Structures are given as C-alpha cells and as structure tokens.
Amino acid sequence: MMRKHSVVSSAAGLQPHDHISWRFNGLSHFARIAIAFFKQGIGNNQRLMYITEDPHQEDLAALGDIDELVDHGALQIASVAEVYGSDGRFQADEQLRTFTEALQQARVDGYQGLAVAADNSPLVQGSPEQVDRWMRWEYLADRFMSANPVAGLCGFNNQTVAREQLDDLATLHPIVSAGHQLPSFRLFNDGDGFRLIGSLDGLSSGQFRRVLGAAPPAEELIVDLTDTEFLNHSALIVLAELAQTGTKVEMKNADPIVKKIKDLIGLESPNLHLQYR
C-alpha cells in the first residue's frame, strides 16, 4: 500500500508512518499544532515526545493533566539541546539510534509507537552545512518512520528559518502543511525506495540537485515515478550526475515521455536505469 502523502491544514488525524513538515508562525502556534497532533497520538496509544528549544509543560495544557501524562511516561518533554546536543553538530546515525531505542522502550512500556512533535528550527537557522546535516537526518528519519509505527511532526518557524531552506526541507516530507507555497516536488521513502511526487522542471531542478546532494551516501537509489506529474531533462541530468558518482539509480514506472527524453539527450550510464510503463 502506498504511503500517505498529502497537504493538510490540520494536524489532527495524523497516523503512524506520517511525516509532516509544518511551517508555523510563533511558538504558541506550534504548541497548538502539537496538541492536535498529540490527541491523535494518545488515541493511537503512542508515546508522545515534545521537543522544542525551550519546552514548558504549560505549552501543552490543553491536552489535559500534563503532570499525569509525564508521570506515567505517556508524554516526554525534552529540549533540542538534550536530544540533538547543544552545538548542533549531531550525527544523523547516532540520532537514528536514539530514536530506535526510544521506540523500543515505548513498546516495552506498552505503547504502540511514537508520536514526535519537534520544533527543529534552531537546527536549520545556521550555516549551509548545518542545514545539509539536518536534511541528511530527514532522509534517515523519514525511512525510520516509513518502516516503523512512528509519526513525526517537524515544525519549522517561518519567522526564523530562511525561505529557501523552508522549501528545501518541505521536499523531504510526504505530508506538508497548507497555507504556504508548496514545494514543486517531494521525495519520501516508501517500501524499498523513494517515491517522487509533483513536478520537476528547469525551475526546480536546482532544488532537486541540492536535496539529492544532502542524501546520505547510498549504493542504490530507487525512485518510483508513478505519481510524478512531470519530469524533464534537467531533472534526469541531476539523477545522471548522481549515477556518475557511483550510486546505482533506478527509476521505476516512468511515463514513456521520460524514456523518450532520456534517449533523446543520450543519457547513458551503467548506473542509470529506467523502467517505464
């Protein structure tokens, strides 16, 4: 079954495996979103994790008796520094271990999974390297959510994160919040590979190159193009560049026009494979 992808205007009803990029305005806004998200998490018997730069229990007062939720372990509250370190130089694979252990512990404690609401803005406000580091982590986090009963609400503050970075970050989430200009494409994990949705043309191929460039090194990149509305030569060239670095790139379920363009521009590489329908 295909993983859910959509544009949502409410965080209510989000389910395990859902991974959402939410652009918010102001910290109280993010808390309101997190509350709606957590209500569903409680309904799904997921352990809730609330992560912001400076989290307070009272942020979530509307959820009910916060003290009780915390005391019972149903809600864990942590700062960005506690989870990701204070210098922003976290390692993505270490981070993956942290969340894998948190999921295991939640199951041991009787929960079905995790619902993580995190305001990640402090980690994407700095240098391009810092943003790249976060993008790399989004790849791993998305795969983790795709394979495990975990829902992730990634908050990004419109007021503190640069516009281009907000756009780039949104491309790595199957679900994005409405009310902003949407990225023209999104790339997310589904099954053994990735699914690419939306459109890639000469105006978005630069972003595609940036986003793919942040991916953790991999032997193989499988991209399912079933739901790709449009893909032109400049996007194919980005994939061919990746193939040239040694990654085996496999495009599945492409439209015949994609094959036609690939043949037309003579993109041949032993690492570049295209299967079309």
Partner 1 sequence: MLVPFVQDGVRRHEPVYVNLAADRMGALVQALGPDAQTVTWSETHDWTPHPWQRLRGILDLVESQREAGDHRLRFVGECAWPEGPPELVREWERFDSVLNHALAPFPVSMVCVYDAASLSHHILDYHEVTHPWIGLQAPRSSQDFVTAHEFLQQHAADRLPLPSGVRCLEGGISPTEARQVVGAFLAEDGTPRDRVDDMIMSVSEVVTNSLLAGASSVSVACWRTQDRVVAQVDDDGPGLRDALAGYRQPSPVSQTGRGLWIARQLADLVEIVPTSSGTSVRISLFDRHPALTTTTTHP
Q: 148 or 232, CB closer to partner 1?
A: 232
Taking the C-alpha atoms of residue 8 and residue 10, their distance in angstroms, rounded to an integer, is 6
Rg of the chain, C-alpha, whole Å? 19
Min dist CB 276 to partner 1, Å, is 12
CB of 170 to partner 1, least distance (A): 16
Closer residue to partner 1 in complex, CB, 162/265: 265
Closer to partner 1 at the Cβ: 2 or 203?
A: 203
Give residues in contact with partner 1 (CB under 8 A): 184, 199, 201-203, 230, 232-234, 237, 255-257, 260-261, 264-266
CA distance 110 to 45: 9
Q: C-beta of 261: minimal distance to partner 1 in Å?
A: 7
Nearer to partner 1, 218 or 264 (CB): 264
The per-type count for the chain, helices as H runs and strands as E runs, is: 9, 13
Q: Give min distance, CB of 183 to partner 1, in A.
A: 12
Give the distance between the most distant pair of CA atoms in the chain. 64
The nearer residue to partner 1, 191 or 206, going by C-beta atoms, is: 206
Distances (CA, A) of 104 to 73, 97, 99, 113: 14, 10, 9, 8
Shortest distance (Å) from residue 184 CB to partner 1: 7
Residue 48's nearest CA partner among 121, 150, 177 is: 150
Instruction: Please name the residues in contact with 119: beta carbons below 8 A apart, sequence gap of 6 or more.
Output: 24, 27, 30, 51, 52, 53, 80, 155, 156, 157
